[in-house]
Chain A
Amino acid sequence: MRVTVDGDRCCGFGACVEMMPDLFRLRDSDGLAEAVGETNDDQGDAVLDVAKACPTEAIKVER
């Protein structure tokens, strides 16, 4: 599973970091989120929930 954050869309709201702190983090340099951790297939639903919660719809999940 490949999880990416579209930096042109992300507004640094941080819902992803609050929901999955092991997978996402917010950078200080530009305030934007990035996916940093490893994901396994068991987390698929959780990641999709995060993607849905992202206000800017910036999180892309490819299985």
Chain B
Amino acid sequence: MQQVSDVRSNAHLTIGKITGLARVSTDTLRYYERERLIAPTAKSAGGYRLYERDALQRIRFIKQAQQCGFNLAEIRSLLALRGSNAACCRDVRRVALEKKLQLEAKIKSMKVMSNALSQLVKKCSGDNRPLDDCSILVALERAEGVKRKSR
């Protein structure tokens, strides 16, 4: 790793500066580093991590991709794709489309869960009766085939 004597150099950003500009915490940045999504390119004479200006754009990319539902492993693949000469926009579209399909499948399954909960809530009287008579607990236990111990 390159050692830079003057940290005021415009080419490099300290961890404080880059996290401030990217609006992420230093913990987040260190986490990205551990996940091999980003790496400091130099160290100051005092041993502080220094980042190139491109790293700022990379952090923003990571944050935006996370907001679109990509996990860090997927973001690593996306970044690799971004840096690949052999890849093209079509490859990125495929990744984005497959992510959308995964999200849609999750939404579908969560809707099923939500509907199941609606049914349980609808059936429950919600009064002061003891837990042994609670229709939600009874229905959940029946579904699992487990008999609840009386309290």
Q: Do A and B come from one complex?
A: no
Binding site for A on B (CB under 8 A): none
Binding site for B on A (CB under 8 A): none
